[in-house]
């Protein structure tokens, strides 16, 4: 990879289309659209092929899980090979009997898997009961380690990971070239409008902060649309979209709206991190001798 390369990237903001087959068909059309616009990297949202099923707890939902080389991976891999793309996808992974993960898959112009990342931080909140379904990724397999591809090292993290500066920093320390956050986040339809705005602004701001603090471009991909709670207990989730791509100073390169299914395109200067770190030498000035308490749950 040349440091001077302008990399065309795409973030696909998409809705759930009612079935795995229909949604993947739509995903394929959007990936082909991105390729036609000369994207070399295409990033999909969290659990893009299915519904966001974590609104409730149900043992039957585990039947939706698939192997890391299952049908979704095979379809994405075939597209990566045909279109010569780097694709970041996402599946509900069945790793073993009783062990399931929220897993990002990376393909690099080939049907073979270039790497994967299993979500490390797992939330457990009303409407987001992920601890019931997902085992956290192992720290060493692959943990917070970027995936090497033909376009650079991809620091792929997933949704709840995006709120943790430690995750972004560890990816940066492992020489990531881009931070990528596949996401499924939205509002409670009954929440007050001003609170919805605060939540959305916080989500955007914290990820732009990771870009600034690490001098790295960020790609954040969220879903759109309303998805009902299958139990009928709540009013479901209204996913707020707002996918965006920003540069290493947090500047927006492209930003989607809240409701439109679209291919969000931007050009990233892959040599800019080096330039920024010469001007803003955060990594030079880190006090690594004083950070031992970061490995503790709480200081007191």
Phi and psi at residue 239, in whole multiples of 5°? -70, 135
Q: Supply the CATH classification number for the domain 6-281.
A: 3.60.110.10
Phi and psi at residue 25, in whole multiples of 5°? -60, -45
Which runs of consecutive H residues, i.e. helices, occur in 8-164?
20-36, 71-83
The confidence score (pLDDT) of residue 2 equals: 41
Given its phi and psi angles, is residue 105 left (phi above 0), alpha (psi -120 to 50 degrees) or beta?
beta
Q: Catalytic: 227?
A: no
Q: What does the pLDDT average to over 179-208?
A: 96
The confidence score (pLDDT) of residue 208 equals: 98
Is 223 a residue whose pLDDT tops 50? yes
* Alpha carbon distance 36, 10 (integer Å): 11
Q: Decide: residue 206, CB within 10 A, 0-12 exposed, 13-18 middle, 19+ buried.
A: middle
The confidence score (pLDDT) of residue 104 equals: 98
The confidence score (pLDDT) of residue 226 equals: 97
Pairing of strands 41-44, 86-96: parallel
Of 43, 54, 159, 246, the catalytic one is 159
Phi and psi at residue 143, in whole multiples of 5°? 65, -150
Of 43, 93, 119, 130, the catalytic one is 119
Of 43, 46, 93, 227, the catalytic one is 46
Is 5 a residue whose pLDDT tops 90? no
Q: State which H helix or E strand residue 81 sits in.
A: helix 71-83
pLDDT tier for residue 1 given thresholds of 50, 70 and 90: very low
Is 3 a residue whose pLDDT tops 70? no
Angle (nearest 5°) at CA 296 between 293 and 300: 80
Higher pLDDT among residues 107 and 5, named by residue: 107
Query: For all residues of the chain together, what is the average pLDDT?
Result: 96
Overall residue count recorded for the chain in this entry: 300
- Which residues, in sequence order, are CB contacts of 204 under 8 Å at separation 6+? 220, 242, 244
pLDDT in tens, 8-41: 999 999 999 999 999 999 999 999 999 999 999 9
Q: What does the pLDDT average to over 45-52?
A: 97
The alpha carbon torsion through 200, 267, 29, 228 (nearest 10 deg) reads -10
Place of tokens 């949604």: 23
CA atoms within 13 A on the CB side of 190: 5
pLDDT tier for residue 4 given thresholds of 50, 70 and 90: low
Q: Catalytic: 54?
A: no
pLDDT in tens, 91-131: 999 999 999 999 999 999 999 999 999 999 999 999 999 99
Q: What percent of the chain has pLDDT over 70?
A: 99
Place of tokens 């597209």: 79
* Alpha carbon distance 129, 230 (integer Å): 13
Contact 15, 261 (CB under 8 A): yes
Q: Catalytic: 131?
A: no
């Amino acid at each position: 990879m040349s440091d001077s390369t302008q990399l065309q990237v795409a973030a696909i903001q998409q809705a759930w289309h009612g079935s795995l087959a229909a949604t993947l068909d739509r995903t394929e059309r959007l990936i082909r659209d991105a390729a036609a616009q000369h994207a070399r990297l295409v990033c999909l949202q969290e659990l893009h092929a299915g519904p966001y099923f974590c609104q409730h707890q149900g043992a039957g939902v585990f039947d939706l899980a698939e192997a890391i080389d299952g049908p979704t991976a095979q379809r994405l891999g075939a597209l990566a090979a045909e279109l010569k793309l780097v694709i970041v996808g996402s599946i509900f992974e069945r790793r073993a009997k009783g062990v399931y993960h929220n897993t990002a898959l990376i393909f690099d112009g080939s049907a073979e898997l270039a790497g994967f990342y299993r979500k490390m931080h797992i939330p457990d909140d009303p409407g987001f009961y992920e601890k019931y379904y997902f085992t956290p990724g192992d720290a060493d397999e692959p943990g917070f380690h970027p995936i090497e591809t033909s376009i650079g090292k991809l620091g792929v993290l997933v949704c709840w990971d995006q709120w943790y500066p430690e995750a972004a920093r560890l990816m940066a320390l492992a020489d990531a070239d881009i931070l990528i956050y596949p996401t499924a986040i939205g509002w409670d339809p009954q929440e007050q409008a001003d609170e919805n705005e605060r939540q959305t602004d916080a989500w955007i701001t914290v990820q732009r902060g990771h870009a600034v603090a690490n001098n790295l471009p960020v790609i954040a991909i969220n879903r759109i649309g309303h998805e009902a709670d299958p139990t009928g207990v709540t009013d479901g989730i209204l996913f707020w979209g707002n996918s965006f791509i920003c540069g290493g100073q947090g500047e927006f390169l492209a930003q989607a709206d809240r409701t439109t299914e679209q291919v969000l395109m931007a050009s990233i200067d892959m040599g800019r991190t080096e330039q920024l770190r010469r001007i803003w030498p955060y990594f030079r000035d880190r006090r690594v001798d004083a950070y031992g308490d970061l490995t503790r749950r709480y200081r007191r």
